[in-house]
Amino acid sequence: MQEERIAQLEQFYRALHPIVREWGSVMSRDPLMMDVCSGEGVSALNIAKTFHAKSVVLSDIRNILRVSLPPNAKFEFADVCSPNFAQKYRGKMDVITCTMSLHELMNPIMALQNMLSVVPRNGLVFIVDYAEGGWAQQAKRAQSGEGVNHYLSDLQNIRMFGLDTNTGIKHFWETSVFPGIPGEASLSFRGEIYTLVYQQKAWGEYKPVPPQLKALLDSQK
């Protein structure tokens, strides 16, 4: 079962690799990288290799790594939604990645604030998650009995923010998020996934959460 899961993750990364390679070509050489919500760790190590990362910190609220870490990698317990995250890591990372995990976070806005606040000028935040087609595939797997409870939990989270359709994803980022960040952001859809790449252009905190999103987050407490 473990070998099958790792094989699935490796197959996913092969599809993602051209995008990672494209952005790796524009960043500073030998960056210090951090991956949040690392899970099994397969995607994080593959991205670090493609980015030619000098070092990589894999992080999550629990350790479920299924890979052996190379000498330039380590695992740290960290919650990207915690108010202390930005203070702990700011100025220590050039690149932060989050792969197929944003939809699982109960407070994605806090996670975004933290990631955007950590990277320095010209640093990158690289996010990949399911697009509409990806959620359609997840629905098929759930209908066959595979990971039903996990899927239903994820679906509740993404629908709260309108992230279950490509239109909703585009609206969320381009209307509610992009206007508040001091840098350049690029959103693209690639089949079953979408990618968001943000490049910091100036030091500074993320601007306050838009009122409509703050009200939504407050209602979930």
* pLDDT tens sequence across 173-188: 888 777 777 678 889 9
- Alpha-carbon torsion (184, 38, 111, 109), positive or negative: positive
Position 218 scores a pLDDT of 55
Q: In terms of C-beta density within 10 A (0-12 exposed, 13-18 middle, 19 or more buried), how is residue 170 classed?
A: middle
Tell me: the pLDDT tens digits for 129-150? Answer: 999 988 888 788 777 777 667 7
Say yes or no to pLDDT of 208 above 50.
Answer: no
Higher pLDDT, 83 or 36: 36
Say yes or no to pLDDT of 24 above 70.
Answer: yes
Which stretches within 84-164 are classed as H helix?
A: 85-89, 108-118, 132-143, 148-160
Range of the domain at 152: 2-219
Rounded to 10°, the helix 2-24/42-50 angle is: 30
Q: What is the mean pLDDT of residues 184-205?
A: 80
Look at phi and psi of residue 186 and say left if phi exceeds 0, alpha if psi is from -120 to 50, else beta: beta
Confidence of residue 213 (pLDDT cuts 50, 70, 90): very low
CB-CB neighbours of 176 under 10 Å: 17
Tell me: the pLDDT tens digits for 45-85? Answer: 999 999 999 999 999 999 999 999 999 999 999 999 998 99
Q: What is the pTM of this model?
A: 0.85
The number of distinct structural domains making up the chain is 1
Query: Cα(162)–Cα(26) distance, rounded to whole angstroms?
Result: 31
Question: In this structure, what CATH number is given to the domain that contains residue 35?
Answer: 3.40.50.150
Query: Cα(127)–Cα(197) distance, rounded to whole angstroms?
Result: 6
